Amino acid sequence: MAGQQLRYDGQTVVVTGAGGGLGKAYAVFFASRGANVVVNDLGGSFNGLGGSSSMADLVVKEITQSGGKAVANYDDVVNGESIIKTAIDNFGRIDILINNAGILRDISFKNMKDQDWDLIMKVHVIGAYKCARAAWPYMRKQKYGRVINTSSAAGLFGSFGQCNYSAAKLSQVGFTETLAKEGRKYNILCNVIAPIAGSRLTATVMPPEVLEVLKPEYVVPLVAVLAHTSSDESGAIFEVGGGRVAKMRWERAKGALLRADDSFTPGALLKKWADVGDFSKPSHPEGPANFMELLEDAQKLP
């Protein structure tokens, strides 16, 4: 497909949180390439308060005025069934789900309130689950689906003042890896992106000249490729922003082995501590089976 214009004619895309930022860029793009788009947005504040229909309506208006097909949905993402029902009622199918809706409740761990934790879990973790859960039976039945979940560098690396958000965002990696495994035989491909883009979520923490090189539109090509029928990519984690796209993966250090016939003690482990963190010749595990192989190999050694 390289060099060809990717199109999505006859397919239905649900983009959650599509009233602004990255979600809007996805929605406008897919509509411009022939897809039917459900523009979901609760229309609340960046920290998850309030709601209004205007954000989704404005995006739908922009799409339809350019000749595209889109309908608005104003549900909270925790009402995933209702969001997917909007796709089925209006377009008869759901092919691509982009779990993108998000909020921030940044605060140091010391000052975190249950509400800050719970709201973040609700939108990012439960919301992504509910939407995927509602879309899954349709995708299985039609033996076709594309799911793109949204993580964050804050989840992959941690970020001061964002422990709620970091926990929720790394959850999307594990969630996606399992969906990718369960979806593969039904041609449901699932990937997770850690984007960086100028939006109302980043406007307060980045200067305008930086935001200028991080347009949400620069994340679109990756999402477009992953969502396309020609893609075979599944279970991958991508870092994407400002036009740069790269896969991320786990890395394992050399490691140490304590033997049952050795002195199996914390002191013995401390003697080998340098090996525990020796990344000079790393391996790149892809699952637990790989760990068992390592153990078996190690046991064979004299």
Q: Which stretch binds ligand NAD (CB under 6 A): 2-10, 39-47, 262-270, 285-293?
A: 39-47
76 binding ligand NAD? (CB under 6 A): yes
201, 207, 210, 215: CA torsion to nearest 10: 40
Torsion of CA 238, 241, 243, 244, to 10 degrees: -50
Between residue 97 and residue 156, which ones bind ligand NAD under the rule CB under 6 A?
A: 100-103, 123, 127, 150, 152
Name the 3-class secondary structure at 199.
coil
Nearest-approach distance from CB 97 to ligand NAD, in angstroms: 13
CA dihedral of residues 18, 24, 30, 32 (deg, nearest 10): 140
Q: How far from chain centre, in Å, is Cα 31?
A: 21
β-pair type (237-241, 36-40): unpaired
Considering only CA atoms, which of 40, 143, 127 is closest in space to residue 93? 143
The SS3 call for residue 247 is: strand
Catalytic residue among 8, 165, 186, 218: 165
Which residues contact residue 157 at a Cβ distance below 8 angstroms, ignoring those fewer than 6 apart? none
Q: Which stretch binds ligand NAD (CB under 6 A): 58-66, 131-139, 192-200, 260-268?
A: 192-200
Q: In the range 259-288, which residues lie near ligand NAD by CB under 6 A?
A: none
Which residue is nearest to ligand NAD, using beta carbons?
21
196 touching ligand NAD, by CB under 6 A: yes
| CA dihedral sign, ordered 151, 157, 158, 160 | negative
Q: Which is nearer to ligand NAD, 42 or 94 (CB)?
A: 42
The verdict on whether 165 is a catalytic residue reads yes
Q: Is the Cβ of residue 119 or residue 180 nearer to ligand NAD in the bound state?
A: 119
Site stretch for ligand NAD (CB under 6 A), options 28-36, 200-208, 247-255, 270-278: 200-208
Which residue, 133 or 252, is less far from ligand NAD as judged by CB?
133
**Is-contact 189 147, C-beta < 8 A?**
yes
Comparison of 153 and 256: residue with beta carbon closer to ligand NAD: 153
Check residue 42 for interaction with ligand NAD (CB under 6 A).
Answer: yes
Position among 11, 13, 20, 86 found at the interface with ligand NAD (CB under 6 A): 20
Interacting residues of 64 by C-beta distance below 8 A, sequence separation 6+ = 70
Residue (60 or 123) nearer to ligand NAD, CB: 123
**Residues belonging to the active site:** 165
Residues that bind ligand NAD (CB under 6 A): 16-17, 19-23, 40-44, 46, 48, 55, 76-77, 100-103, 123, 127, 150, 152, 195-197, 199-202
